Structure 1
Amino acid sequence: MTALPVVLVPGMLCDADVWADVRPQLPGPVVDAEITAPDIGGMAEQILAAVEGPFVLAGLSLGAIAGFEVARRAPERLAGFCAVSTNAAAPTAEQLAAWAGFDRRTRDGEFDSVVAQEILPTMFSGPDPVLHRRFLAMARRVGPSTFRAQLAAQATRQDAHAAVAGLSCPMLVVSGARDRLCPPEFHRSIAARARNASLRVLPEAGHLLTFEAPGAAAAVLADWLCSLSPLSKES
């Protein structure tokens, strides 16, 4: 049996570079998915279309949120689910208002300001000019049109804890101890509802832990992937 593919799903304002320091350490074939649809259901369909048959999903932030919808729609396709730096709850009124404001400002030509002033400060545990430049470059590659679609998709989120509880496949839940956007308690809630979950909290890491703690993130994900029999056995 050949190894199942691992589908890597980026977060909002992220592209495949968010996994660049992790990807080389992963066993088996790896496929990068995009999430550009203006609703969570459409994003889930983009992920499902990335490969045929069963796969392991690893999603970061909005990528994991879209992954929760995959779990709701097609649980039989998932051989494993790694949820990183994310939130399984429905949006709050405050979040909906903030996203609507970001959308208005972006529509009015303030994309760079929104990213630098509103998004960037939530990405890392502290100031790091190198990581800041890398994130800003990635966000500019994603661009304002996709950002607005992703903001619209965020507003279509539903509480996903029931979808998590319904999964029979193994889950890995990974959090940064210093994530101000999706703190560790969000991840404890996800892991507590899953039937077969491992929770790892990476010390000193913030939201974009694949940038901030790439060695630790790669080791945790690779070890978990190797524990999954479809990935660790060949015949």
Structure 2
Amino acid sequence: MSAPARKTVPRPLPLVVVPGMLCDESLWSEVVFPEGHEVHHLSLTKPDIGALAEDLLSVVSGPFALVGLSLGAIVGFEALRRAPERIAGLCVMSTNAGAPRPEQYASWRGLDALIAAGRFDEAVEQTLPGMFALPAPPRGQASRYRDMAHRVGREAARAQLAAQATRTDALGALGDARCPGVVLHGTRDALCPPRFHRDVARALPDARLRAVPGAGHLLPWERPEAVSEAVRDLLDRTGAARPVPSSATPPAA
């Protein structure tokens, strides 16, 4: 007799988590990701959105859920354009799917010039006001942001600025999504205001828009509980599992 077919066991969907500019893995330190899911963090170190999207798609094999903030979400949009079948869930926050505006190009060139001239601290200070809800960052968060930016470092920062300039309008590609989505934003995000997120939520076929009152750009620090809840919501809607072969093979009869 032939051997019975191998059984399959469910495995929680892996998460690929991508931070924004001048941010590292510590951005997510207070977010509670659901137990049992492999969590993979991607660092943004290449000067091209397409190359970063390929890095993202190579983190795991097969389907995964993506959690991205700001530039990390923009990289996710490009990954979705290239391989919509790979992304089983999409949680994006503090972001913009539109093409860069002239004033953004000018700002990125100015920041890059400062860093190239050895004035990295000054460049970081210029980005600081946009990171938190005005009028001032929560206590201790400004120094925490500066420390994180310095861990990212000058070379990665310049690569991220160059990558920003290779962005294109992603709104059209979002309609190809085959997965549920959650779009999260702070109502006082000066860099990526609510209307950017309404556009993303409208473009995605199956998205829930979540506003976080009074919060700014760095939601995982300002409101980690809201981010944790959004990720749980997303995974609940994906079914949160996919079949994989069991490691045990029944003996032949």
- Under a length normalisation based on structure 2, what TM-score does the superposition of the two structures give? 0.88
1:98 maps onto 2:99 in alignment: no
**Corresponding residue SS for 2:161:** helix
User: Per-residue displacement from partner, 1:204-226 (whole Å, max 9, x unpaired)?
Assistant: 11000110111222122223222
Structure 1 residue runs without a partner (length 5+) = none
CA distance in 1: counterparts of 2:26 and 2:236, whole angstroms: 23
1:122 is aligned to: 130
CA distance in 2: counterparts of 1:7 and 1:79, whole angstroms: 11
CA distance in 1: counterparts of 2:186 and 2:201, whole angstroms: 15
When residues 26 and 201 of structure 1 are mapped into structure 2, their CA distance, relative to the original with a 3 A threshold, is: farther
**Corresponding residue SS for 1:172:** strand
* Structure with a larger share of its residues in helix: 1
CA distance in 2: counterparts of 1:123 and 1:198, whole angstroms: 24
Q: Which one of 203, 219, 233 corresponds to residue 229 of structure 2?
A: 219
Name the aligned partner's letter for residue 51 of structure 1.
Answer: V
When residues 87 and 230 of structure 1 are mapped into structure 2, their CA distance, relative to the original with a 3 A threshold, is: same
1:149 maps onto 2:155 in alignment: no
Residue 33 of structure 1 deviates from its aligned partner by 1.2
Residue 186 of structure 1 deviates from its aligned partner by 0.2
1:48 maps onto 2:57 in alignment: yes
CA distance in 1: counterparts of 2:141 and 2:147, whole angstroms: 10
**Corresponding residue SS for 1:79:** strand
When residues 176 and 26 of structure 1 are mapped into structure 2, their CA distance, relative to the original with a 3 A threshold, is: farther
User: Per-residue displacement from partner, 1:21-70 (whole Å, max 9, x unpaired)?
Assistant: 11445652211111111000011011111111110011100000000000
When residues 233 and 52 of structure 1 are mapped into structure 2, their CA distance, relative to the original with a 3 A threshold, is: closer
Name the aligned partner's letter for residue 125 of structure 1.
Answer: A
**Identity between Structure 1 and Structure 2 (%):** 48
Q: Which runs of 4+ in 1 moved over 6 A?
A: 232-235
Structure 2 residue runs without a partner (length 5+) = 1-9, 247-253
Name the aligned partner's letter for residue 181 of structure 1.
Answer: L
Q: Which one of 169, 187, 197 corresponds to residue 179 of structure 2?
A: 169
When residues 197 and 26 of structure 1 are mapped into structure 2, their CA distance, relative to the original with a 3 A threshold, is: farther
User: 2:180 touches 2:234 (CA, 8 Å); kept in 1?
Assistant: no
Q: Give me the CA root mean square deviation.
A: 1.7
Residue 19 of structure 1 deviates from its aligned partner by 0.9
CA distance in 1: counterparts of 2:100 and 2:141, whole angstroms: 28
Structure label with greater radius of gyration:
2
1:2 maps onto 2:14 in alignment: no
